[in-house]
Amino acid sequence: MVKMYYEADVKQEVLRGKTIAIIGYGSQGHAQAQNLRDSGYKVVVGLRPGKSWDVAVKDGFEVLTVAEATKRADVVQILMPDERQAQVYRDEVAPNLKSGAALCFSHGFNIHYAQILPPADVDVIMAAPKSPGHLVRRVYQEGFGVPGLIAIYQDATGNAKDLALAYSSGIGCTKAGVIETTFREETETDLFGEQAVLCGGASELVKAGFDTLVEAGYAPEIAYFECLHELKLIVDLMYEGGLARMRYSISDTAEYGDYSTGRRIITDETRKEMKKVLAEIQDGTFARNWILENQANRPGFTSRRRLEAEHGIEVVGEQLRGMMSWLNKETKKEEAKIGQ
């Protein structure tokens, strides 16, 4: 069993009186900064002038350049998009990092794949909520926290683990429970999960089902409901009570179809390919491709994004979601932006 930590394991004093710089004020940044402040810690936000800067000021934070925030900080939590972190680290964080400070992450990519090479005199830790930022904030405000991970990459001060736990407590995670992992395990499993199951696997499965029905002459609107819309109902049930709860709630016909057909869709060949995908994550092939793609200004990523937006399921989906008054207005505004 993995090791779990809770409130009782936390030594708050290792963070009291220290200054935490949150670098980036997006999904995770706004949530972690506000939770830490509400937990009584001293927080400054490090940014470049722009949209996030204004939001953080409006939320009452002292906002500084990344360089200035780093100079002040005992803990520097890097919460910019992963593909931007290495350059900002090299230019603005590294030259200003105090000896004995802690460098903290919510995802291990840049450390694990050697894009950020920290000096030997700082702690390098991970405190990663297992949830999107808005939930990190909302659950904290409701008096609880989301589960989280901690990991220690480098313990220069001898305090790294206590620091990671105190930080996790400050964002609410130790109320739910924190699991100890490593930078390697967190990074490789995160990439595998999103590629094979959550994002890559799920979107191709949805499109393949939709295409099969539409090519056979069924209405795209009906295909959309069956292959995309209803997926949420199924996933919600899995989320609440695992596969068993989902199977308990669906009809026996659906359950029989699940058992008889699932393995014809996810075949031995698919499982073999999953192992190859994992191997390419483990040997750095995926990371190298993504890093080079970014250095080339993302030509493949950009055209793939356009092609995907043109797929029939996206076109019919936008019309159908217009009929769904309960979908929140913010989502629809976001959707309009994504479509631009």
Q: Which is nearer to ligand NDP, 79 or 171 (CB)?
A: 79
CB of 15 to ligand NDP, least distance (A): 19
190 has binding-site annotation = yes
Among 10, 47, 223, 316, binds ligand NDP (CB under 6 A): 47
By CB under 6 A, is residue 29 in contact with ligand NDP? yes
Q: Is 230 annotated as a binding residue?
A: yes
Task: Give me the amino acid identity at 109.
Answer: F
Q: Supply the minimum distance, in Å, between the C-beta of residue 225 and ligand NDP.
A: 28
Applying the rule CB under 6 A, the residues between 76 and 115 that interact with ligand NDP are: 79-82, 84, 88, 106-107
Give yes or no for residue 25 binding ligand NDP (CB under 6 A): yes
In the set 107, 112, 229, 311, the catalytic residue is: 107
Nearer to Mg ion, 144 or 239 (CB): 239
Closest by Cα among 181, 183, 186, 188 to 283:
188
Among 15, 19, 21, 24, indicate the residue that binds ligand NDP (CB under 6 A): 24
d(CA 235, CA 45): 36
**Residue 66: which of Mg ion, ligand NDP, none does it interact with, CB under 5 to 8 A by kind?**
ligand NDP
| Residue 175 interacts with, from ligand NDP, Mg ion, none (CB under 5-8 Å by kind) | none
Which residue number is nearest to Mg ion in terms of Cβ?
190
One symbol per residue from 185 to 224: x for binding ligand NDP (CB under 6 A), - otherwise; what is it?
Answer: ----------------------------------------
Known catalytic residue at 107: yes
Residue whose Cβ sits closest to ligand NDP: 26
Q: In this chain, which of 105, 131, 190, 210 binds Mg ion, going by CB under 5 A?
A: 190
Q: Which residues are catalytic?
A: 107
- Which residues of this protein are in contact with ligand NDP, per CB under 6 A? 24-29, 47-48, 50-52, 66, 79-82, 84, 88, 106-107, 128-129, 132-133
Per the annotation, binding residues for substrate are 251
